[in-house]
Amino acid sequence: MSRPYYIAGNWKMHKTRAEAAELARALVEGLKDGKHRYLVAPGFTLIETVAPILKGTNIRLGAQNCAPEEQGAHTGEVSVLQLKELGVQTIILGHSERRHVYSEDDALINRKVKLALAHGFEVILCVGEQLHEREGGIAEGICEGQTTKGLDGVAPGDLERVVIAYEPVWAIGTGKTATPEDADAIHASIRRVVGKLYGEAAGERMIIQYGGSVKGDNAARLMAKANIDGALVGGASLKAETFAPIAKFA
Ligand code: 13P
């Protein structure tokens, strides 16, 4: 089964509007003949600046989070309705920084996943173990659990708008990358879980990105693995010169 490669840039809490516009324009130019699926997820205040630059190009517009409710008394949160209005197509949910810095649990992430899907968004559901969990030999179980709980109650018909990103917490922003073999093993176990929940064909169709210190010089080796279908890139997505080689890996 051949799945498309999907390369996403998570800009996290970086860039001003002028910088974001410059990067978005450089990516549009640099990736216009790219063969894979692309996405960038700028911070909330940058989305309105970046949206018209990406419109009609081969780069999708993402957001990095959303609130678990449509609207209401949620000081400091951003609603799916507000994101939709700006042209956001995809929402990254359950990122390890949301889980471990802002204490989001699987139940909260699952509510966000279902709300975003109900509003027609594509969702990138992030899963990944912490260092002590990897050292304790429970990485697979952690990722399988986060996948199962994140997808709880997601209708089979909505699953085609779900992408899973495996991001081992110890590899994010550290320069340490999982070996292609270790990453592939986790991806395979996530695929098996999706297969168990939704049927083998659905598991085979699921796009599973790897994230954690992906760079131009390791992207091709990771993506060569059978179960690695793309990348969710942090640091190296902040410059066109470092993102384009990943996005256009051969
Ligand atoms: P780095 O590529 O900076 O390790 O970040 C990965 C990540 O968290 C993407 O969401």
Q: Is the CB of 100 under 6 A from ligand 1?
A: no
Q: How far is the CA of 171 from the centre of ligand 1 (A)?
A: 8
Tell me, using a 6 A CB cutoff, whether residue 150 lines ligand 1.
no
Do residues 169 and 100 touch, judged by C-beta distance below 8 A? yes
Q: State the pLDDT at residue 38.
A: 98
> Does the pTM of the predicted model rise above 0.85?
yes
- Residue 160: predicted pLDDT: 97
Cα separation, 43 vs 208, whole angstroms: 23
**What residue spans define the domains of the chain?**
6-247
| Ligand 1 centre distance from Cα of residue 213 (Å) | 6
Q: Which of 99, 126, 167 to mutate to test the pocket of ligand 1 (most atoms within 8 A of CB)?
A: 167
**Catalytic residue IDs:** 95, 167
**In this structure, which topology does domain 6-247 adopt according to CATH?**
TIM Barrel (3.20.20)
* Cα 158 from Cα 181, distance rounded (Å): 30
Residue 73 CA to ligand 1 center (angstroms) comes to 31
User: How high is the mean pLDDT in each 10-residue block of the chain (250 residues)?
Assistant: 93 98 98 97 98 98 98 98 98 98 98 98 98 96 98 98 97 91 98 98 98 96 98 98 95
Tokens coding 245: 């080689």
Tell me the three-class secondary structure of the chain, residue by residue. CCCCCEEEEECCCCCCHHHHHHHHHHHHHHHCCCCCEEEEECCHHHHHHHHHHHCCCCEEEEECCCCCCCCCCCCCCCCHHHHHHCCCCEEEECCHHHHHCCCCCHHHHHHHHHHHHHCCCEEEEEECCCHHHHHCCCHHHHHHHHHHHHCCCCCHHHHHHEEEEECCHHHCCCCCCCCHHHHHHHHHHHHHHHHHHHCHHHHHHCCEEEECCCCCCCHHHHHCCCCCCEEEECHHHCCHHHHHHHHCCC
Q: Is the CB of 9 under 6 A from ligand 1?
A: no
Q: How far is CA 157 from the centre of its chain?
A: 20
Q: Which atom of ligand 1 is nearest to the CA of 165?
A: 10
Q: Is residue 213 lining ligand 1, measured as CB closer than 6 Å? A: yes
Does the Cβ of 62 fall within 6 Å of ligand 1?
no
